[in-house]
Amino acid sequence: MGTTGQRAAWPWGRPPGPRRAAAPRVAAAAGVAPDTHRTARPVERRPRGDMYCSCRASCWSSAGRRRRAADGGGDAGARSGRSVGGRGWFVSATMPAALLSPSPPARFRCVPSSLCKLRQQLTVDQCIEPFPAAAPPLDRFLASPPTVGLCQLHSPDIASPSPLPSASVAVDSASPCAVAAPMRKPLLRIPYTDILAPPAVAPASARSLPGALAALERFFAPPPPRGLPASAVILTGAGLSVASGLADYRGPNGTYRVNKTYRPVYHYEFLTSHEARQRYWARSFLGWAALRRASPNAAHYAIGDLGDLGLIRTVITQNVDSLHPKAHPQIPSLELHGYLRATVCTSCRSEFPRDEFQQQLARLNPRWADLLRDAVASGALETEDPAERTFRGLTSNPDGDVDFPEAPYTTFRYPACPRCLADPPAKPDGRRHAVRVDSQGAWTLPSTAGILKPAVVMFGESIAADVKTAAEDAIDGAGRLLVVGTSLATYSAWRLVKRAKDRGMPIAIVNMGGVRGEEQLFADLDPRQAGERGVRVELSTDQLLPALVSELRKGAAAASGGASAAGASPESSNVLKYTLPSRPV
């Protein structure tokens, strides 16, 4: 492939333009010879492995541009110099030896071909980019302006990337690498990301499954304290959906334990930053399929059975996965933090189905759709094991968030609100907002309205007043509170439990791991009580709740003198229908 003219056909995006005649960006004082290909003539892309050169492409090259590492793996496609999605390791033949760290030959990861296509989409002139002391993820790199700093080389042999030896770099402000301004550092802090103190199980006999069942039966059995209603309200969190294959935040394998660098997109970032929305919707696009496939587990159905038994009046859930309405539509479910099954316009407040939005995202981002198909075909999205997902090159977080660390999120496009596009909303001064789209319908700057967001309460966003009031009314209308699968780290949930405590309601908590402020909740609990005034259990919900339903049904049958009470047979129980194998016909 010649280097004196442009390619006849560039497979992804426009061909690279001619290079400006500029001084070498690697300072001569650093003792590093400038690249010989940094000339004014058009050049073809040069592979740079996992080093972040501005072309952001590391896989595609002609056969002579890479040689196999001395101890590398790979397959026939990799040996020919073209990635086919294997896990081979390569040495870049065009990487100046002085820039290799710690010493040549360095090894570079081969990324899947569909991800290469995404990275090739950014046709920016090659240059050596500056980095701070620790190299940022690629999405942050793309959003950071060029400054003076040190280049970073990413190699699987280097546990903590170190600066290249004496390679001081100066980048001019006119560099095409200046893609976007960085996001402001959020003023908010995610609460309780560290491991909470282990619980004090109460009563002491509730450490075993039989003891926990006996305690919860006593919790539901006696009349409530004087003046309180007889029914109970249940408050659930992400731990309830772990058995459905969804990630949680603070459980034993929660995101804040296994992914210390995770930071969600804050509400103010989503509203004010186009790049933040690109990042959010790209990762949501990759994670929606798995979230959409998730089904209620045995614990969800058990909650429905508790409602059928007359024990549960209302379900308040922090979850946004819509599994409660699917499992027990007959019991009201108050979705405290919203739901992912729809998007909502931040201007006109119109809602649109998330499935239709997903189709629009796939249409606007065909290369991302290819990446998603490759990930699904490889089984990368079928496992929730953190180590396996890391090995497959992705990170799964709660609420349908999937991160491919090398994916260029700034290439992602998302649609505008169709209603605001047809009829732009008015500003307070009477003028109309601008809603602009490109030729394919993707939202573009300088639009000031028509932004679609998930119909959830994002980090830093306030719960709607009517939802807050409904949750408080649900607490006030019950005589007991059962807390399931949540550490109560968010104040919106904690304040409801505190409200129940202040009303004198007995409280039972079923959660793996510690719970925020539980020492205050059970400080006055008599250690001799057997569960009627409070219960603290550390057992899995999908094991405990179905067994509780079974025991309660047995008790109901025994209380009726052994007669076949309505719903007493296993086949009449929703949860036991779910867990028992089907009978042969």
Confidence grade of residue 519 (pLDDT, cut at 50, 70, 90) = confident
Q: Please state, in angstroms and rounded to a whole number, the distance separating the CA atoms of residues 431 and 427.
A: 5
pLDDT at 198 over 50: yes
Whole-number average pLDDT of the chain: 69
Average pLDDT over residues 440-445: 94
DSSP reduced 3-state for 210: helix
Q: Which pLDDT score is estimated for 388? A: 59
Q: Which pLDDT score is estimated for 506? A: 95
Residue 335: exposure state from Cβ atoms within 10 A (0-12, 13-18, ≥19): buried
Write out the binding residues: 345, 348, 417, 420
- pLDDT, tens digit, for every residue of 253-276? 555 455 556 667 889 899 999 999
Average pLDDT over residues 125-135: 32
Task: Write phi, then psi, for 114 (nearest 5 degrees).
Answer: -65, -35
Q: Which pLDDT score is estimated for 557? A: 80
Active site residues: 337
Q: Where do we find the tokens 């699987």?
A: 156
Output the CA torsion sign for 352, 358, 362, 367: positive
Percent of the chain topping pLDDT 90: 39
* Lowest mean pLDDT, pick from 105-114, 169-178, 235-244, 352-361: 169-178
Q: Which pLDDT score is estimated for 409? A: 87
Peptide bond into 428 cis (omega under 30): no
DSSP 149: E
C-alpha 236: how far from chain center? 19
Q: Which of 516, 541, 510 is nearest to 195 (CA)?
A: 516
Average pLDDT over residues 63-72: 33
pTM above 0.75, yes or no: no
Instruction: Report yes or no: 493 and 244 within 8 Å, Cβ to Cβ.
Output: no
Q: Please state, in angstroms and rounded to a whole number, the distance separating the CA atoms of residues 115 and 333.
A: 40
pLDDT at 542 over 50: yes
Domain ranges of the chain: 35-179
Q: Which pLDDT score is estimated for 295? A: 93
pLDDT at 130 over 70: no
Top pLDDT among 191 and 441 is at 441
Q: Which pLDDT score is estimated for 199? A: 80
Write out the binding residues for Zn(2+): 345, 348, 417, 420
DSSP 13: S
The structure tokens listed for 350 are: 């119109």
The structure tokens listed for 16 are: 């690279």
The structure tokens listed for 398 are: 């709660």
Peptide bond into 112 cis (omega under 30): no
DSSP reduced 3-state for 448: coil
Strands (E), 410-512: 436-437, 443-444, 452-456, 480-484, 507-510
